[in-house]
């Protein structure tokens, strides 16, 4: 997805601590034309997998998940980072997930009515760095006894290794841009 | 929008404290076909207003905002409920907002690069009850010296009065379903 790489190079910023700031087009401000291109690309990769549901996590995964779901003609479920009052006393799937960016532990929670054993789930998220969120979402798919079609990621921080580890485990992980190096503000993509 | 009203009647649940649970199709699980219908309807109402940007708030406004933005061919900006590490030290617009559901105060925050005086902003959110989130988003549009096209809401709790108050102030508030009464689990829509 050369278009995304170009956007990252032209509009992204590298902050201290290897934080890539892409809030002008990917999260915070969401470039809808770009999302449609990314969604089409994700669909092309997973279109024969029988996807019945897209699973993401609040908040920045929701935009790309919803735009992409149109191509699959399926619904989106997003995990919340804490149990909220209006969840009532429903049963849930949950999995812990440490955020290295925010340095806190979240428990991802999904109402157990929304994923069932007959579902084939595609996980979508904006970033894959240490893989914590993806592993938590995979655990939720597994708790639901649903089938995992694979994982689609907008930007993978390849140099952190979690993506390649998932691939080794046989997960169909499809990242639209993989960054192999990020030093002194310079970004090098995996070719 | 009769289709939404039918969905609310068939799939919504009223919890104690006048909380309407619509998480099987509107938030948590997002029915993308429904979102497209709602998005088209919002576009039909605001299409001549010169909308250049859609503003919403994390998390449950993001889905409908992104789907609707496709019709306007514009980008989405979402307000965060707290300042996050990867916002860096950017300048922001901010406004306080009390959540009656969660009984806590949030400060809605938008990077000030993403809304400018040349923007015409459409605010979109899933619910309007006490109007706190809408007023905070309106304050952000005003701080940015941008023009407010109006506000589109999926479900307005009409009996709480905040929507009609905004209309009296001259705001073009377009709600896809307005609930005028919610008693003993029975929902009455405004005709």
- Mean pLDDT of all residues in A144-155: 98
**Given this model, what pLDDT does residue B173 score?**
98
- Mean pLDDT of all residues in A21-30: 93
Q: Answer yes or no: is pLDDT of A157 > 70.
A: yes
Tell me the C-alpha distance between B156 and A123, whole Å.
32
A63:B63 CB<8 A? yes
**Given this model, what pLDDT does residue A9 score?**
95
Residues from chain B contacting residue A88 (CB–CB below 8 Å) = 13, 15, 21
DSSP annotation of A80 reads B
**Cross-chain CB nearest to A76 (options B19, B21, B32):** B32
CB A152 within 8 A of CB A176: yes
Nearest CA in chain A to B101: A85
Q: Answer yes or no: is pLDDT of A184 > 90.
A: no
Contact of A21 with chain B, judged by CB distance below 8 Å, is answered with: yes
B76:A30 CB<8 A? yes
Tell me the C-alpha distance between B142 and B72, whole Å.
21
- Mean pLDDT of all residues in B69-95: 87
Strand (E) positions, A23-163? Answer: 29-30, 53-57, 75-79, 92-99, 104-111, 120-128, 147-157
Q: Which of residues 43-72 of A touch B (CB under 8 A)?
A: 58-59, 62-63, 65-67, 69-70
> CB B156: neighbour CB atoms within 10 A?
27
Q: Which of residues 159-188 of A touch B (CB under 8 A)?
A: none
**Cross-chain CB nearest to B77 (options A28, A33, A59):** A28
Contact of A12 with chain B, judged by CB distance below 8 Å, is answered with: no
The pLDDT tens digits of the residues spanning B89-131 come to 679 999 999 987 778 899 999 999 999 999 999 999 999 999 9
Mutant choice from A16, A21, A29, A121 vs B, greatest count of B C-beta within 10 A: A29
> Which domains are delineated in chain A?
2-189 (3.40.50.2020)
What percent of chain B stands above pLDDT 90? 80
In what helix (H) or strand (E) does residue A165 lie, and over which residues does it extend? helix A162-168
Contact of B75 with chain A, judged by CB distance below 8 Å, is answered with: yes
User: Closest by alpha carbon to B126, among B189, B167, B65, B187?
Assistant: B65
CB B99 within 8 A of CB B132: yes
The pLDDT tens digits of the residues spanning B26-60 come to 989 999 999 999 999 999 999 999 999 999 999 99
ipTM given for this complex: 0.95
B66:A69 CB<8 A? no
């Amino acid at each position: 997805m050369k278009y995304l790489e170009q956007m990252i190079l032209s509009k992204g910023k590298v902050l201290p601590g290897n934080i890539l700031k892409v809030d002008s087009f990917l999260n915070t401000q969401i470039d809808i034309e770009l999302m449609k291109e990314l969604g089409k690309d994700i669909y092309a990769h997973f279109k024969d997998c029988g996807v019945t549901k897209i699973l993401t996590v609040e908040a920045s995964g929701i935009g790309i998940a919803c735009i992409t779901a149109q191509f699959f003609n399926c619904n989106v479920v997003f995990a919340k980072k804490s149990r909220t009052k209006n969840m009532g006393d429903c049963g849930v799937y949950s999995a812990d997930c440490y955020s290295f960016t925010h340095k806190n532990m979240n428990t991802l929670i999904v109402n157990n009515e929304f994923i069932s054993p007959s579902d084939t789930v595609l996980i979508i998220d904006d970033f894959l760095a240490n893989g914590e969120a993806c592993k938590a979402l995979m655990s939720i798919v597994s708790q639901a006894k649903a089938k995992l079609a694979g994982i689609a990621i907008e930007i993978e921080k390849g140099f952190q290794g979690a993506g390649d580890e998932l691939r080794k485990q046989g997960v169909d992980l499809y990242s639209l841009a993989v960054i192999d190096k990020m030093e002194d503000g310079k970004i090098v993509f995996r070719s």
